Structure 1
Amino acid sequence: MDIALWIATGALALVALVGGITKTFVPREKLAAVHGGGWTAGVSAGFVKTLGVLELLAAAGLILPRLTGIAPVLVPVTAACWVLLMVGAMVTHGRRGETGLVALNVAYLLLAAFVLAGRVA
């Protein structure tokens, strides 16, 4: 079970890392022009960058505490926060009629819920 949790955690951390780098360092105008990034046109650049930094922190919070043994309780806390983030993403993409992205967000939410449940137990 521990191996499955590490694989799920690593996959989720990779998603958070890529999303965080993109939102933090790619200009909002470029994000708004790509598939799935249209929502950024309706929010401030600061909001997008803030989400990006939170995703970077999530990537670290999913891996480092358990890997180092320092405050491993942060892993399920981070997974719970990711669940909430995905609910927001599902609402945002749902309002825009982006059902494929909603399904992807559901998959990420389920992955985070698995990590949360596995690391709390």
Structure 2
Amino acid sequence: MNVILWVAQALLAVLFAGAGGMKIAMSPESLIPLMPWVVDFAPETVKAIGVVEVLGAAGLILPAATSTAPLLTPIAAAGLGVVMVGGTAVHIARSEYSAGLANGVVLAAAVLVARGRFRPRQTPDAIPTR
């Protein structure tokens, strides 16, 4: 299960770092062909979403990889899941159903990582015997 979680974390991190980086680096006018929903939001909101996504991407990898505050990894995954819930709602409201479905798949992956990494580790001493 650990390998599956790491693969999911890596894929999510690449996805969110790329999408968030585009939202930060590109102008709203440049984003419209790629992300038509940006017309419904202030440029500052789009940039803020990008910052959250980039920080979330870092949170998926760095704490678990360095064993420094590893609890931050499932928190980052849960936070990105919340972002995906919002994204799914926006796409459905705009009748962009295929984009909403894609967000739903990303949401499922984020939930998998959050659930898998929140799970307490059991040591042989912690396993009850009968």
Shift in Å, 1:92: 0.3
Look up the match of 2:123: none
d(CA) in 2 for partners of 1:92, 1:45: 16
d(CA) in 2 for partners of 1:55, 1:71: 19
Look up the match of 1:30: 30
The structure with higher relative contact order (CA 8 Å, sep 6+) is 1
Q: Percent identity?
A: 36
User: Which structure 2 residue ranges, 5 or more long, are not aligned?
Assistant: 120-130
User: Which structure 1 residue ranges, 5 or more long, are not aligned?
Assistant: none
Residue identity opposite 1:27 in structure 2? S
Aligned residues: 119
Shift in Å, 1:38: 1.3
Q: What TM-score, normalized by structure 2, do the two folds share?
A: 0.89
Look up the match of 1:20: 20
d(CA) in 2 for partners of 1:112, 1:33: 26
d(CA) in 1 for partners of 2:103, 2:33: 20
**2:98 paired with 1:100:** yes
d(CA) in 2 for partners of 1:40, 1:93: 11
Offset from partner CA, 1:42-98 (integer Å, 9 cap, x none): 211111111111111011000000001110000110111111111100010001111
Residue identity opposite 1:31 in structure 2? L
Query: 4+ residue stretches of structure 1 with deviation over 2 A?
Result: none
Look up the match of 2:6: 6
Q: What TM-score, normalized by structure 1, do the two folds share?
A: 0.95
Residue identity opposite 2:18 in structure 1? V
RMSD over aligned Cα atoms? 0.7
Report the structure, 1 or 2, having the larger helix content.
Answer: 1
d(CA) in 1 for partners of 2:11, 2:60: 10
**2:106 paired with 1:113:** no
Q: Computing the radius of gyration over CA atoms, which structure comes out larger, 1 or 2?
A: 2
Structure 2 residue matching 1:51: 3-state secondary structure? helix
Offset from partner CA, 1:13-62 (integer Å, 9 cap, x none): 1111011111000110111123xx11111211111111111111011000
d(CA) in 2 for partners of 1:26, 1:86: 21
